[in-house]
Chain A
């Protein structure tokens, strides 16, 4: 896969450049070990519609305190991986699917590269989380089919200073809300191995794996609360999220702080990209809608239950 290799080497360059900033930062170098299972399962969409998924799940300890995937339930998105900057991370991927998967977290230099995890096998990936930020992790195998199935999740790398998304004081926040944006085409997911990928046609639009009215509002805020929205676009479309009643201050893209942060109400996150924005809750208003401005605010087809309102919509709510 020469194209893949090329991307890898670009990432290396990017991280080397970023690493220069980190000179003098005390390395915690904590070894962190995470066992991820890759499982087939299903997701329940609004109105009781179900769709096949492949998802990540955290392994659980067995009787001998060894990680096991027996009985775990996969989720879309996968579990949130919460890591401290400079941790040495080992992620063991236990693949219970009948086809190979892989693990990548764009922005991180994984020592094992794109080595696949064969069917029913385990491969450990290691990397040093050298720079803070919001990262997607995913299986990029099978030309995107596994993304369509749900093999993605969020990884947060935290800087040493608590309450900040990055090194700068401008990244300070009071609450955070990872928002994994994605979509599902239940018809595609019914036959992931054989469905024509050209015919992929998403009909459910998800925030953290849920479509409205099942989405989880961001609660517990008050006027002045700084809410860090960590957008992670795991879908296939550039996605514009519109915030009503407030501006958001965009501070980072793809886990890199912006030299010139800016204010936005309709901000587009590219497919595969991440973005961090801080909403300072205004004095006026108690409910701030956050929704997909491509107007993906429906569930399924007009014949589907809970067809509208639906889709990629949630709220930031006081309190």
Chain B
């Protein structure tokens, strides 16, 4: 029942991403990032108890709703219930708690139920069941939570999100004007925990809500930095939902649609939520779009928005590269320090900062700093601006925070870190000449016996395991052996083949057919046609990738002058 919302793997810290404990053996694994739906319209929930882990090493006793279909595996928060507008939704609640529990669906009308009468909602007695039925109302983001002794049960964790989608439009939040990129749909569900009160419930001591003093502040049931881990990581078995937000810069052609950020606050407190990086456009609250009385758009942009207890707010988000620093077209002012807002340091001199003001480039960092940056992507914190909530038990940079990751528009770029000649002899230059399309080139003389051939490969290092969408670009020319300086006497164009080393099969994989390369710079750009995992080395060859440039043809001997060799890829 868990639907794949997004492919891809996360971050730096997630060295070994393991699959989520499967909801159903046959179900697809959840996407690593983004909203993980449990699809309806029939749901079976079990109210039960379990523990969550906090980043400071604590574990906290919680109550929550589990998906009965998983064997009622405890999870906090409860499953994200996804339905379509107009569907008849039924939620059966089995209550294993020692007191009556229930469900309320704020924002839904006409909820009927079977079970025992309760004050705010029909209840499932301890050990018993209740069933709730309603017609999914207008599209939007909602919450569900306990309507039984809420100051105890909601504070203990009996809550989750309910998503109502417009029928037939998974890419609309509400209507055509709120279209978003379905691969970038994110939930940010805010909550708080007072571990003393939870301990009181666990041990049967007196629970006094008037003494509430929250110490943990969560996004999707995790506290930072756990929030940026993938959905379903093995080391957070009861907190399946990550909240890292990952986008590429807005581009009218390649990336025109915004991300959808669904925020919900199931805590007791109002939270000032502060997204760094770019403004968010608030399009709706409590499942109702913001409109003028005449029906015009009344959305508004925010860099700090209070979300009230029990409230939901939906935001469209496009990240625009305001500065567009570019090494050639728009160089960063020399002597200026990189903008401090990108200088994101965590603890123990760890940083996500690339060291460069150029998106997609890595720069130099102080020698004592450990960078968690993959290839020059940028990170921005999205966090509660109540600074006590930006902590784990009062220790800073934790709690109610996650990161926005902005990837380079064209993916990551890698350049060779070495070369090796397979046939022919070195003439001049080194791998460093391959890093830019400039006057420098790496030159190889063809063989002089048989069919002349200049055959070599560039070795790339540090390509992250799990990278995808690998593309190779080569620019070079073929000159007569009388070449000198910048002159390139013509020879007949020589067929030139690019290939990539397949570590799995131990063979070169051609990247398409050979292209004729003559005495003017010629660019060949080709995708890698096999699984990325087979061309990125593992074990002793971890992160290595090899691209072969094989020029072969006669009748005359020649010189290969390689100007540029690079790969682009999407980092995990």
Contact with A along B295-319 (1 / 0, CB 8 A): 0001000000010111110000000
Query: Which residues 260-319 of A sit at the B interface, judged by CB distance below 8 A?
Result: 260-268, 282-285, 289, 291, 293-298, 300-302, 308-309, 311
Q: Is the interface of A mostly helix, strand, loop or mixed?
A: loop
Contact with A along B279-308 (1 / 0, CB 8 A): 000000111101111000010000000101
The count of chain A contact residues (Cβ–Cβ below 8 Å) is 39
Q: Are A298 and B151 closer than 8 Å at their CB atoms?
A: yes
Q: Are B310 and A266 closer than 8 Å at their CB atoms?
A: yes
Q: A245-B109, A247-B107, A284-B109 are in contact. Are A264 and B285 (CB under 8 A)?
A: yes
Q: Are A302 and B110 closer than 8 Å at their CB atoms?
A: no
Q: Are B308 and A266 closer than 8 Å at their CB atoms?
A: yes
Q: Are A298 and B210 closer than 8 Å at their CB atoms?
A: yes
Kindly count the residue-residue contacts between A and B in the assembled complex, taking CB atoms under 8 Å apart: 111
Binds A, one of B201-209, B246-254, B465-473: B201-209
In the complex, whether A122 has a CB less than 8 A from a CB of chain B is no
In the complex, whether B150 has a CB less than 8 A from a CB of chain A is yes
Q: Are A268 and B151 closer than 8 Å at their CB atoms?
A: no
In the complex, whether A120 has a CB less than 8 A from a CB of chain B is no
Residue from B120, B291, B312 in contact with A291 in the complex, judged by beta carbons closer than 8 Å: B120
**A296 to B110, alpha carbons, bound, how many Å?**
26
Q: Are B209 and A295 closer than 8 Å at their CB atoms?
A: yes
Contact with A along B148-190 (1 / 0, CB 8 A): 0111101100000000000000000000000000000000000
Q: Which residues of B contact A297 (CB under 8 A)?
A: 149-151
Q: Which residues of A contact B421 (CB under 8 A)?
A: none
Nearest CB in chain A to that of B104: its residue: A244
Nearest CB in chain B to that of A285: its residue: B110
**A247 to B155, alpha carbons, bound, how many Å?**
24
In the complex, whether A57 has a CB less than 8 A from a CB of chain B is no
Q: Are A294 and B288 closer than 8 Å at their CB atoms?
A: no
Q: Are A262 and B310 closer than 8 Å at their CB atoms?
A: no
**A261 to B291, alpha carbons, bound, how many Å?**
8
Q: Which residues of A contact B270 (CB under 8 A)?
A: 238, 240, 268
Q: Kindly provide the distance from the CB of A224 to the nearest chain B CB, expressed in whole angstroms.
A: 13
Q: Are A308 and B206 closer than 8 Å at their CB atoms?
A: no
**A302 to B206, alpha carbons, bound, how many Å?**
7
Residue from B109, B309, B312 in contact with A240 in the complex, judged by beta carbons closer than 8 Å: B309
Nearest CB in chain A to that of B290: its residue: A262
Query: Which residues 192-207 of A sit at the B interface, judged by CB distance below 8 A?
Result: 201, 203
- A-side interface residues toward B, CB under 8 Å? 170, 201, 203, 238, 240, 242-247, 259-268, 282-285, 289, 291, 293-298, 300-302, 308-309, 311
A-B contact pairs, 26 of them (CB 8 A): A238-B308, A240-B270, A242-B309, A242-B310, A245-B110, A260-B290, A261-B293, A262-B291, A263-B286, A264-B285, A264-B311, A265-B106, A265-B287, A266-B308, A266-B311, A267-B308, A268-B270, A268-B311, A285-B111, A289-B120, A295-B150, A295-B151, A295-B155, A295-B268, A296-B151, A301-B208
- B-side interface residues toward A, CB under 8 Å? 104, 106-111, 119-121, 147, 149-152, 154-155, 206-210, 268-270, 285-288, 290-293, 298, 306, 308-312
